[in-house]
Amino acid sequence: MAAMLPPEEFIVLLDSVLPEIARRLKSSIGLINEKAADKLGSTQIVKILTQDTPEFFMDQGHARVAQLIVLEVFASSEALRPLFTLGIEASSEAQFYTKSDELILNLNNISSDRIQLMNSGIGWFQPDVLKNIITEIILSVLLPNQNGKLRSGVPVSVVKALGFKAAESSLTKDGLVLTPASLWKPSSTVSQ
List domains and CATH numbers for the chain: 8-96+107-152 (3.15.20.10)
Q: What is the pLDDT of residue 185?
A: 45
Residue range 83-95: average pLDDT? 93
Residue range 163-190: average pLDDT? 56
- Alpha carbons 190 and 8: distance in angstroms, whole number: 59
pLDDT confidence bin for 167, thresholds 50/70/90: low
Q: What is the pLDDT of residue 59?
A: 72
pTM of the model: 0.80
pLDDT above 90 covers a percentage of the chain that reads 51
Q: First vs last Cα of the chain: how many Å apart?
A: 55
State the alpha helices, DSSP H only, in 18-73: 19-32, 34-39
Q: Give CA angle at 142 (15, 88), nearest 5°.
A: 95
Q: What is the pLDDT of residue 136?
A: 96
| Top-confidence residue, 23 or 100 | 23
Residue range 101-115: average pLDDT? 85
Choose from 98-102, 123-127, 155-159 the range with maximum mean pLDDT: 123-127
pLDDT confidence bin for 168, thresholds 50/70/90: low
Tens digit of pLDDT for each residue in 28-82? 999 999 999 998 988 999 999 999 888 888 776 678 889 999 999 999 999 999 9
pLDDT confidence bin for 188, thresholds 50/70/90: very low
